Amino acid sequence: MELMDFLGKFLELAALALLPVLAAFIAGYLRVKGKEILADLENRWPEQLSVVSFVVKQVVLAAEQAGAAGLIDDKKAYALGVATDWLAGLGLDIDLDVIEAAIEAAVKKEFNGK
């Protein structure tokens, strides 16, 4: 049983040592893939991406102001709803996850540093 206990502890420590490295690698890979996908979208549909960026920026700024004035409770839900309605009104059927990711990016860009 001592060998099994030793192997169990060794594997546990090896996993703990490798997990942060693996997580950093995965995060870096996803970041590169995200940039590639965004570049592909910019090449395929530059007008739509430009419209989505504009709408999301305006909605994020409006949500921030409405939240500061106490008019809304959940700024993210407000921004998501308004952006979805605005884009649908323009005839753009954009996936909700894409809009949500664009909102997160706009918040980071506008309020957490350029």
The answer on 59 and 16 residing in a single domain is no
34/52 same-domain check: no
Domain match, 31 and 54 both: no
What's the structural domain count of the chain? 2
Residues in the chain: 114
What is the rounded distance in angstroms from the CA atom of residue 108 to the CA atom of residue 71? 22
Per-residue pLDDT tens over the stretch 27-64: 888 888 877 877 777 787 778 888 888 999 999 999 99
* pTM greater than 0.75: no
Q: Are residues 20 and 62 in the same domain?
A: no
Question: In this structure, how many other beta carbons lie within 10 angstroms of the beta carbon of residue 70?
Answer: 7
Q: What's the pLDDT tens digit per position in 61-94?
A: 999 999 999 999 999 999 999 999 999 999 888 8
